[in-house]
Amino acid sequence: MILTVTLNTALDITYRVPSLRPHASHRVSEVTERPGGKGLNVARVLAALGHEVTVTGFAGGATGRVVRDLLADTAGVVDALVPVAGATRRTTAVVDERTGDTTQLNEPGPAIASAEWSAFQDVYEELLGSVSAVALCGSLPPGVPVGAYAGLVRTARAANVPVLLDTSGEPLRRAVAARPDIIKPNAEELAELTGSHEPLRATQDARRRGARAVVASLGAEGLLAHTPEGHWRATPPTRVQGNPTGAGDSAVAGLLSGLVEHLPWPDRLARATALSTATVLAPVAGEFDHAAYEELLGRVAVTGEVSAA
């Protein structure tokens, strides 16, 4: 069982319009709703890959009920969300069918009371006793301490559960010092953490700050990994156009599934890159095109070298 943590869960709403024009009314051609937030996206991809997943975090209000109802229909995913008084946020993606571009609107999330945060920590610690790995994903809702992820990383390490962290800003900076097994920033997040805009140097610096392995997402250019076992670059075979929402989450799912399956790093990176690219090609945020993934997987180029013993 894999555990994903989404402290700021969401209901992802995707609107498709023939053409998005500022200051105009639009007739929506299609609407879809999915449980959202980074960790829930990761869980859905992991389940599609055949892994059993438990999700935890917070859910509240009418939107939270919708999220939980949708999770109940998601095969392979177990709901362990903690109820809160505030309403779960919504994220709205508007896809322009003419250009393929996506406009994203993200609400901030509910305020979390100290008692709710304590209740979550109790649930989290209990869940760690029965999982093989954990992913800590996304932003912090109001009321959750900025050092929350650092504490959750330390709790996972104390339970001997490998932990992957995917967040940004001050929560990332504090949590890196707690020594997560893997962090997966994008290029901008990595530069903010290290002060370096040169990806290879920045990944090395992030490891010196505490992360055991660093996998940087470089958008259409693929992934760059710096690990104790070596360093590699994974590049998709082609540039694709579509909805990038959830592409990074699919990469996390690829890395996490590769970790629990004990795959070598080049295979983990190829899987993560193929999943990320196939997610851009999917019409709905947080999904991936299965046929495209299978076709891309064998064509991802992975270069690099193993570290000297």
Catalytic residues: 249
Calpha distance 61→65 (Å, rounded): 6
Calpha distance 12→241 (Å, rounded): 20
Helix (H, G, I), strand (E, B), or coil: what is residue 67? Answer: helix
Question: Quick check: 165 and 136 in contact, CB under 8 A?
Answer: yes
Helix intervals (H) in the chain: 38-48, 61-72, 114-127, 148-158, 169-176, 187-194, 199-208, 247-260, 265-281, 290-297
Tokens linked to 61: 């209000």
CB atoms under 10 Å from CB of 121, counted, come to: 15
Nearest to 9 by CA among 72, 82, 78, 76: 82
